[in-house]
Structure 1
Amino acid sequence: MLLLSCPCCGVTAEETEFANGGEAHLKRFGPGSTDAEYEAYMFARKNPRGVHFERWRHAYGCGKWFLMARDTMTLEVYGTYKAQTSAPPEELQAHIKARRPEWEGF
């Protein structure tokens, strides 16, 4: 079981208190986009072996969305950060690079 920390309210709890929202940092396409762009947004997702960035919601807490970096092989959570961030914070990227030197960065 994962232990997650909500960066919005500061609560640390088991993953059952949170809801996964899929891949983070996607470029969203909607009205006015081409069929290919919309199809790629809806159905094309990364499924990496290693570092992955995801959206999570503190469903049974503050209710806010946040982003998380974790390792899909070991389930290690590298860190969480607010959803309004367009890219992972530099300190989180440095932490991941220190733990996983082979990681190529965001």
Structure 2
Amino acid sequence: MRIDCPLCGSRDRREFYYQGDAVALTRPAPDAGEAAWDDYVHLRDNPAGPTRELWHHEAGCSAWLEVTRDTVSHAISDVTLAAGKATA
């Protein structure tokens, strides 16, 4: 798989480090209880199809990227710099 870094151009996936979904998570209140915290820490959606993900160009320019990738085919449809986007 190749990722088109907006700063460096097309690079092999091995130059990047996957950081997870690029969706904001709602952090539970400190007193929310064990079940709410367990869900927050351990449970994530695993959709088949297009997803937004955060990738770090670790072996390149060190940019944080938001990658839109189809989890079935691994086809990448969009790559943008994640700078200035809120993540939680």
Query: What count of residue pairs does the alignment treat as equivalent?
Result: 84
1:43 counterpart residue number:
42
Aligned residues with identical type, % of pairs? 26
When normalised by structure 2's length, the TM-score is 0.77
Please say if 1:15 is aligned against 2:13.
yes
2:53 counterpart residue number:
54
Following the alignment from structure 1 to structure 2, what is the Cα–Cα distance between the partners of residues 29 and 56? 22
Instruction: Confirm or deny: 8 A CA contact 2:63 2:81 kept in the other structure.
Output: no
Say which structure, 1 or 2, has more relative contact order (CA 8 Å, 6+ apart): 2
RMSD over equivalenced CA pairs, Å: 2.2
Q: Which has the higher strand share?
A: 2
The structure-2 alpha-carbon separation of the partners of 1:28 and 1:82, relative to structure 1 and needing over 3 Å to count, comes to: farther
Structure 2 unmatched runs, 5+: none
Runs of 4+ in 1 over 4 A off after TM superposition: none
When normalised by structure 1's length, the TM-score is 0.66
Instruction: Confirm or deny: 8 A CA contact 2:8 2:61 kept in the other structure.
Output: no
The structure-2 alpha-carbon separation of the partners of 1:61 and 1:42, relative to structure 1 and needing over 3 Å to count, comes to: same
